[in-house]
């Protein structure tokens, strides 16, 4: 009997509380995706390349999992409490009709158990499908198809999702069910007082609102200027200012709603609608502010994460697959391509490489000082920008440079399908690592003036444009700044003071047959047998892919969880308030308001209630993304900062459309309430 009643009630609950039930399904999907991260093909690949970084990322996952369980516990408790409060009279009638309190307690638990099982039955298969799609998308986003996709199912992820979800639901509902089942019948049948808030003078609300704007403005200033990122204390102060400022703004909003009430008194139910909104804001200003902050954090993380990920694709020209070096050898002249060809022959790898070239990077003899005063002088003549100021500071700090012969750099250019270059003894090309270079256009404008670099007693005239080709398979081996000089100048001034590298390109047929990843992994097994250091393109690729995965997975996961929490709170709050206001709706029907009029009235209230929260969150998130970019972007990426912020704003706007889904769900639930009231 109890099980049948619980089954019927749980079905009714799913229909009447679709917002809450849908939020639980989304939470299940999010849990599985983050918990199954280690089983996805892209992470298995990265573990073979960047095992330490991947292990550190995976070690953070349990912290995220436990933290979100606590967040979910709050949502489950808050939402379930409101739902059970709506059914107070129903539970009172059960007790009047003779149901024992222990059975009432058991019935409530069974209802939640049935709903949880159905949520898991829907959520887990959906999560597995989305996880596979996400894995494929992550592989493709980098732009190179080197990882084959295979279906993967994380049994651990499934078990932990079920365990975590059931634990949260059970803890919340045992506590709530015990409270409901122990209440007296009279308390259950009596309407709960909505409570009133003490009204303060209007000037107080105005002062609080203006002060809130000022405090929030300070938080924006600290974030965008970068002061928030200078220390943990500064970050804590910035976060505190943002929270306090937002809460004060919502507290002062009641004054402006009062002003709106007076503007359109002639419109149908205008005063009634905004009085309802005003009471909602007055009674829930703090929870609305917290919900708005949660949406703000979700939008900021998602906007920044997607923008950073898509702007960190590997757009560099892929030239070399391997770079070999032997830094332990004192005589670098003996380490060259001839030596490596002999080693390849002994290992049976002579046919594995199509191109093998030498690279020598040296320092000027006697450690002669290199100065870039002429470059600084030419930069000072250009129109000032923040990027130009950063460049000037950098060149002032440089008092050294590495050197490279033009003939070897031309070999790199040939493989990149670029024309070869020539230099006289007193000429040089400026090279800067693409990972750190900023203001490339400014540098090229300056180079048109043919500035000179002083090297000891010599003056080398800079020709052409800035060079930044990747000269090594692994970009970590690149040099931040060097001068490419004539071969004759290099041999006379560098002599034996240089490091030797050997770059190699894999045979095209081998890559076509096995794929780049498998080819490199097979060759690595043989290379590990000899005492020669090497770096591979796969390592460089892996680091960039790891950055994308770390950013995209964690930010999307957190964004979804926070959006679910915030919107569930807002939606359930409104529906509860509407339920408490049922007598007001009855009065409207007595006065002649039909069903359509009531629905329009409810629509307006929902739009304003959600709109106030979302509008402030979106405005906050625009500044939030700018603050995130200010703190976490490398200087080379800040050149296109305005463009990246624009992209992030577009992403924030698109993500804000998700709110329309929540609003439509709340409206449907509201219509059901009005239909029951009408009957």
243 and 351 assigned to the same domain: no
User: How is residue 453 written in tokens?
Assistant: 């670099």
Distance CA 438, CA 389 (A): 11
Kindly state whether residue 212 falls inside one of the protein's structural domains: yes
Pick from 479, 484, 477: which is nearest to 463 by CA?
Answer: 484
pLDDT at 637: 47
Confidence class for position 405, pLDDT limits 50, 70, 90: very high
* Pairing of β 427-432 and β 458-462: parallel
Average pLDDT over residues 546-566: 72
Distance CA 36, CA 148 (A): 18
Kindly state whether residue 256 falls inside one of the protein's structural domains: yes
112 and 207 assigned to the same domain: no
Mean pLDDT across the chain, nearest whole number?
Answer: 77
Lowest-confidence segment of 185-199, 341-355, 368-382, 513-527 by average pLDDT: 185-199
Q: Judge residue 456's burial from the number of C-beta atoms within 10 Å of its C-beta, 0-12 exposed, 13-18 middle, 19 or more buried.
A: middle
Distance CA 462, CA 427 (A): 6
Give me the DSSP letters along 356-414.
EEEEEEE--GGG--EE-HHHHHHHHTSPP-HHHHHHHHHHHH----EEEEHHHHHHHHH
> Tokens 């020598």 appear where?
360
For the chain, give the number of residues: 679
599 and 620 assigned to the same domain: yes
292 and 326 assigned to the same domain: no
Domain end call among 541, 565, 595? 541
* Strand partners of residue 371: 454
Confidence class for position 407, pLDDT limits 50, 70, 90: very high
Q: How far is CA 370 from CA 409, 457, 465, 497, 628, in A?
A: 21, 9, 20, 16, 37
533 and 584 assigned to the same domain: no
Phi, psi (rounded to 5 degrees) for 435: -70, -25
Residue 204 in this model has a pLDDT that exceeds 80: yes
Distance CA 337, CA 129 (A): 49
496 and 464 assigned to the same domain: yes
Distance CA 188, CA 100 (A): 15
Q: Which residues contact 535 (CB under 8 A, 6 or more apart)?
A: 322, 323, 325, 472, 473, 474, 476, 477
pLDDT digits (tens, 9 = 90+) for 7-49: 777 777 777 677 777 778 877 887 787 777 777 666 666 666 6
Residue 418 in this model has a pLDDT that exceeds 60: yes
180 and 237 assigned to the same domain: no
Confidence class for position 583, pLDDT limits 50, 70, 90: confident
535 and 582 assigned to the same domain: no
pLDDT at 1: 61
pLDDT at 641: 55
**Domain with 87 in it:** 1-192
188 and 220 assigned to the same domain: no
Domain end call among 516, 541, 566? 541
Average pLDDT over residues 645-667: 74
Kindly state whether residue 398 falls inside one of the protein's structural domains: yes
Kindly state whether residue 315 falls inside one of the protein's structural domains: no
511 and 575 assigned to the same domain: no
Residue 598 in this model has a pLDDT that exceeds 60: yes
186 and 238 assigned to the same domain: no
User: How is residue 71 written in tokens?
Assistant: 């967040």
Kindly state whether residue 492 falls inside one of the protein's structural domains: yes
* Strand partners of residue 482: 402, 431
CB 564 within 8 A of CB 25: no
Confidence class for position 387, pLDDT limits 50, 70, 90: confident
Instruction: Tell me the percentage of the chain whose pLDDT exceeds 90.
Output: 4
pLDDT at 144: 45
Confidence class for position 148, pLDDT limits 50, 70, 90: low
Which of the two residues, 529 and 487, has the higher pLDDT score?
A: 487
Kindly state whether residue 317 falls inside one of the protein's structural domains: no
Distance CA 572, CA 84 (A): 12
* Pairing of β 498-506 and β 370-371: unpaired
Rama region for 266: left / alpha / beta (φ>0; ψ in -120 to 50; rest): alpha
Global confidence as pTM? 0.64
Pick from 606, 587, 597: which is nearest to 660 by CA?
Answer: 606
Distance CA 671, CA 599 (A): 7
CB 69 within 8 A of CB 167: yes
Domain end call among 192, 219, 241? 192
- CA end-to-end distance (rounded Å), the chain: 29
62 and 40 assigned to the same domain: yes
Kindly state whether residue 309 falls inside one of the protein's structural domains: no
Kindly state whether residue 548 falls inside one of the protein's structural domains: no
Q: How far is CA 314 from CA 44, 349, 466, in A?
A: 20, 28, 20
Q: Judge residue 377's burial from the number of C-beta atoms within 10 Å of its C-beta, 0-12 exposed, 13-18 middle, 19 or more buried.
A: middle
Which of the two residues, 627 and 377, has the higher pLDDT score?
A: 377
DSSP 3-state assignment of 353? strand
Pick from 325, 327, 351: which is nearest to 340 by CA?
Answer: 325
Average pLDDT over residues 263-277: 71
Pick from 465, 499, 493, 488: which is nearest to 326 by CA?
Answer: 499
User: What is the tally of structural domains in the chain?
Assistant: 3
User: How is residue 576 written in tokens?
Assistant: 């509860």
């Amino acid at each position: 009997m109890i099980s049948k009643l619980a089954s019927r009630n749980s079905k009714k609950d799913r229909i009447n509380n679709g917002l809450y039930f849908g939020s639980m399904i989304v939470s299940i999907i999010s849990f599985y995706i983050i918990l199954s991260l280690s089983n996805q093909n892209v992470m298995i690949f990265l573990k073979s390349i960047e095992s330490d970084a991947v292990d550190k990322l995976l070690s953070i996952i349990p912290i995220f999992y436990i933290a979100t369980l606590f967040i979910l516990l709050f949502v489950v408790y808050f939402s379930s409490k409101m739902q059970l409060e709506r059914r107070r009279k129903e539970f009172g009638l059960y007790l009047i009709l003779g149901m024992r309190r222990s059975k009432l307690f058991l019935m409530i638990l069974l209802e939640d158990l049935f709903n949880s099982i159905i949520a898991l039955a829907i959520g887990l298969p959906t999560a597995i499908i989305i996880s596979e799609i996400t894995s494929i998308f992550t592989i493709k986003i980098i732009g190179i198809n080197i990882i084959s996709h295979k279906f993967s199912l994380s049994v651990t992820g499934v078990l932990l999702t079920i365990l975590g979800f059931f634990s949260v639901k059970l803890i919340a509902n045992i506590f709530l069910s015990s409270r409901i089942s122990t209440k007296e019948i009279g308390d259950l049948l009596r309407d709960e007082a909505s409570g009133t808030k003490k009204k303060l003078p209007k000037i107080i609300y105005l002062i609080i609102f203006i002060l809130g704007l000022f405090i929030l403005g300070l938080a924006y200033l600290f974030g965008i200027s970068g002061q928030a990122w200078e220390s943990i204390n500064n970050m804590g102060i910035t976060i505190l200012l943002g929270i306090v400022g937002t809460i004060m703004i919502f507290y002062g909003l009641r004054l402006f709603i009062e002003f709106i009430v007076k503007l359109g008194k002639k419109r149908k139910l205008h005063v009634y609608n905004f009085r309802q909104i005003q009471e909602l804001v007055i009674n829930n200003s703090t929870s609305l502010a917290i919900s708005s902050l949660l949406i703000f954090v979700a939008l900021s993380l998602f906007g920044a994460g997607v923008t950073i990920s898509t702007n960190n694709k590997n757009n560099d020209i892929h030239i070399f697959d391997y770079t070999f070096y032997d830094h332990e050898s004192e005589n670098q002249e003996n380490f060259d391509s001839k030596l490596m060809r002999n080693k390849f022959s002994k290992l049976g790898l002579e046919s594995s490489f199509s191109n093998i070239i030498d690279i020598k990077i040296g320092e000027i003899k006697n450690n002669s000082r290199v100065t870039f005063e002429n470059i600084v002088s030419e930069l000072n003549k250009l129109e000032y920008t923040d990027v130009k100021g950063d460049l000037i500071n950098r060149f002032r700090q440089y008092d050294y440079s590495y050197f490279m012969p033009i003939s070897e750099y031309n070999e790199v250019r040939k493989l990149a399908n670029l024309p070869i270059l020539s230099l006289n003894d007193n000429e040089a090309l400026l090279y800067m690592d693409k990972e750190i270079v900023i203001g490339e256009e400014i540098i090229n404008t300056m180079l048109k003036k043919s500035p000179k670099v002083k090297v000891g007693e010599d003056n080398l005239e800079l020709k052409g444009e800035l060079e930044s080709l990747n000269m090594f398979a692994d970009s970590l081996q690149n040099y931040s700044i060097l001068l490419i000089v004539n071969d004759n100048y290099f041999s006379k001034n560098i002599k034996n003071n240089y490091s030797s590298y050997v770059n190699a390109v894999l045979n095209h047929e081998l890559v076509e047959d096995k794929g780049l990843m498998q080819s490199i992994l097979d060759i690595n097994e043989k290379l590990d047998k000899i005492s020669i250091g090497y770096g591979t393109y796969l390592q460089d690729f892996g680091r960039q892919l790891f950055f994308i995965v770390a950013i995209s997975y964690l930010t999307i996961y957190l964004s979804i969880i926070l959006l679910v929490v915030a919107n569930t709170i807002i939606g359930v709050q409104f529906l509860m308030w509407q339920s408490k206001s049922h007598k007001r709706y009855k009065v409207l029907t007595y006065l002649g308001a039909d069903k359509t009029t009531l629905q329009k009235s409810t629509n307006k209230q929902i739009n304003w209630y959600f709109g106030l929260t979302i509008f402030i969150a979106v405005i906050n998130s625009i500044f939030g993304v700018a603050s995130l970019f200010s703190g976490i972007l490398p200087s080379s990426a800040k050149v296109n900062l305005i463009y990246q912020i624009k992209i992030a704003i577009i992403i924030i706007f698109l993500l804000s459309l998700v709110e329309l889904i929540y609003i439509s769900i709340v409206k449907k639930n509201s219509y059901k309430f009005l239909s029951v009231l009408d009957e």
